Amino acid sequence: MAKSNLEQDILKVLVTEEELTKRVNELGEELFDKFADKNPIFVGVLKGCFIFMADLVRATQIKSELEFIGLSSYNSGTSSSGVVEITRDLQKDITDRHVIVVEDILDSGNTLSFLKKLLEAKGAASVTIVTLLDKPARREKAITADYAGFVVPDEFVVGYGLDYDQQYRNVPYIGVLKPEVYTK
Ligand code: 5GP
Ligand code: MG
pLDDT in tens, the chain (184 residues): 677 899 899 999 999 999 999 999 999 999 999 999 999 999 999 999 999 999 999 999 999 999 999 998 866 555 566 789 999 999 999 999 999 999 999 999 999 999 999 999 999 999 999 999 999 999 999 999 999 999 999 999 999 999 999 999 999 999 999 988 987 6
pLDDT of residue 76: 53
Beta carbon of 152 within 6 Å of any ligand 1 atom: no
pLDDT at residue 182, rounded to an integer? 81
Enclosing H/E stretch for 131:
strand 126-134
Determine the pLDDT at residue 21: 98
Nearest CA to ligand 1 atom 16: 107
Instruction: State if residue 158 touches ligand 1 by the CB under 6 angstroms criterion.
Output: yes
Active site residue 107: yes
pLDDT at 33: 97
User: b/e per residue, 106-122, with b = 16+ CB within 10 A?
Assistant: bbbbbbbbbbbebbeee
Q: Residue with the nearest Cα to atom 15 of ligand 1?
A: 107
Strand partners, 46: 70
In the set 107, 154, 163, 165, the catalytic residue is: 107
Mutation to probe ligand 1, out of 75, 104, 135 (largest number of atoms < 8 A from CB): 104
Would you state the pLDDT for residue 80?
61
Which 3 state secondary structure label does DSSP give 144? coil
Query: Residue 115: CB within 6 Å of ligand 1?
Result: no
Cβ atoms of residues 157 and 133 within 8 Å: yes
The gap from C-alpha 41 to its chain's centroid, in whole angstroms, comes to 15
Tell me the three state secondary structure of residue 148.
strand
